[in-house]
Amino acid sequence: MKEKGLLRDIRVMALVFLVLAALVVIYLYPPPPPDAGINGNLKYGLDLVGGSWLQLKLEGTLVGITAPVNESEVATFLEKELDAEVVYYKTDDVVVYEIRKVVSKAHLSDVLKKINGSIAKTPTGEDLFEEGITRETRDETREIIEMKLNLLGLADVKPRTVGKNFILVDLAGVDIGTAKSIVGKPGKFEIRIQTEGSGGDIEKGQRLEEIGNITAHVVYGSEGIESRSVGAVPVRERENAPWGASFTLTEKGAVALREATMKYGLTANPTESYLRDHELAMLLDDVVVYSAPLSSDLAQELKQKPVPGLRAETGLGTEGFERAKELIIHLKAGVLPVNVEIIGSGEVPAYLGAKFKEGAIVAGLIALFSVTLVVFLRYREKKIVLPMFFTLLSELILILGFSVVVPGGWRLDLASIAGIILVIGTGVDQLVIITDEVLSGGHSSTSMYRKRISFAFGIIFVSATTTIVAMLYLAFMVALGALRGFAIVTIVGLLIGIFITRPAYARVIETIV
């Protein structure tokens, strides 16, 4: 049977098509930024372009409690005494409470004495008390921080969780001061109602201690606001109407708001002057971020039933629009279940990152040309060396294309470059195995050639599989950060080699040798 030409072989066609597709996604679609230059759509980590990293600790306490009252009453009592949100869940032996702030064991024991309660014991006789939060609360906090980063244009930043109560964030291209203000600031979001004084006594920027004696707590954001319900953009009823931020209260939040408005007479006396003296204030980390009176229509509606859907109006024109955007960020990011503390941080200056990037590119190119030179010295045949060189180059292009198309985008960092260099090294080893098997048999029948290639691929497959298996653990360890990038790039490079570039190279060698 007559052999097909190289360009009609499915393995070669697949390689050429995928390389062209990779070049398209890197340089053509989606259109790269105007100043991207040779970088195209490639994204780099903070160690190649400069940036900051933060280590966040999520503050909370997990404690088992025994008390003569039911769980709901214990949670309500602790919320009032500790000024913190408290949730609970039942285990087989005891009810565990998650207090969403750090509390000392001694202080908590003293507080529990007021209801004849105590800290529960574990089967080994130790106090069931630890600093930390549940995995669910940790993951919820990470998602909300990521949401805030997305709103600020950092959509490809993926916070990583470590243990029960730690989050790591890398912010490429963001200085340390900005990073702390973006990530380190979100915290407890709270809605309070004005009980004393007159309209205007509460202003943006005031602290809780300044308004505490003239306001009363209504609901915390994490329990009262549906975080996914906060509108992504400012809204208004009609043209020339005030801009605002829309959000939806949970059932608990809507009931709490109605009870507060009824308790302080807003539904009984929904006049403009009375409502003006009883504003609703929103606080983030105990600082007022918004305050305004209820509308008379809303007060009338609350008299009949809870109202979950609300819109916080921020004013007219561009100023009102910008204030609404800011409030949306506070609403989304402020609905954090717990406070966060920055326990570690660092920064790679932009100029140093540029030096690292330049060095990494040079190292990659030197590796590519060096192994090509070694191969040339081994075979001294251009018809062998050039296919090897272009096979390795195609692998490099495919890996870079993968970094662009992978969901969320993959930021190339020093560890990723190290992974690419490792792939180049192992790639040469595998290509040499294929070449030696072909050359060792001299000219022979197609069936014998195929047997030798199968033998070579058996060795390559076993070698690559052992490396992939060794790297899998690192690849799934999100907390490892840079090492995870090294592992993923190595695995992807090896898979590209096994299923795409090696078969195409074998077909080329079959033709030219």
Cβ contact 420:396 at 8 Å: yes
- Does domain 58-131 bear CATH number 3.30.70? yes
Q: Three-state DSSP class for 133? A: coil
Q: Three-state DSSP class for 240? A: coil
DSSP secondary-structure letter at 442? Answer: -
Q: Tell me what pLDDT residue 105 has.
A: 94
Chain centre distance of CA 203: 33
Give helix 10-27 / helix 382-405 axis angle, nearest 10°.
50
Structure tokens at 256: 């709490």
Q: Tell me what pLDDT residue 184 has.
A: 63
Q: Three-state DSSP class for 158? A: coil
Residue 193 buriedness (CB in 10 A; 0-12 / 13-18 / 19+):
buried
Q: Tell me what pLDDT residue 17 has.
A: 96
End-to-end CA distance of the chain: 20
Name the residue ranges covered by the structural domains of the chain.
6-45+349-512, 58-131, 189-341
Query: Which one is the CATH code of 189-341: 3.30.70, 3.40.1350, 3.30.1360, 3.20.14?
Result: 3.30.1360
Which H/E stretch holds residue 450?
A: helix 446-476
pTM for this structure?
Answer: 0.67
Which H/E stretch holds residue 306?
A: none
Instruction: Give φ, ψ of 130 to 5 degrees.
Output: -155, 150
Nearest to 299, CA basis, from 271, 327, 338, 340: 271
d(C-alpha 465, C-alpha 467), whole Å? 5
d(C-alpha 309, C-alpha 230), whole Å? 10
Q: What is the mean pLDDT of each run of 10 residues along the chain (513 residues)?
A: 69 95 93 86 86 90 93 91 87 87 94 94 90 88 76 71 87 81 68 89 88 89 75 84 89 90 87 87 83 89 89 89 82 71 87 83 86 87 89 94 84 88 91 87 71 89 91 75 83 94 90 78
Domain made up of 6-45+349-512: CATH architecture:
Up-down Bundle (1.20)
Q: Which residues contact 121 (CB under 8 A, 6 or more apart)?
A: 64, 127, 128
Q: Tell me what pLDDT residue 111 has.
A: 94
Which H/E stretch holds residue 390?
A: helix 382-405
d(C-alpha 95, C-alpha 64), whole Å? 6
Q: Tell me what pLDDT residue 1 has.
A: 42
Nearest to 132, CA basis, from 82, 95, 166, 155: 166
Cβ contact 420:493 at 8 Å: yes
Instruction: Tell whether omega for the bond before 349 is within 30 degrees of 0, i.e. cis.
Output: no
Rg over alpha carbons for the chain, rounded to the nearest Å, is: 31
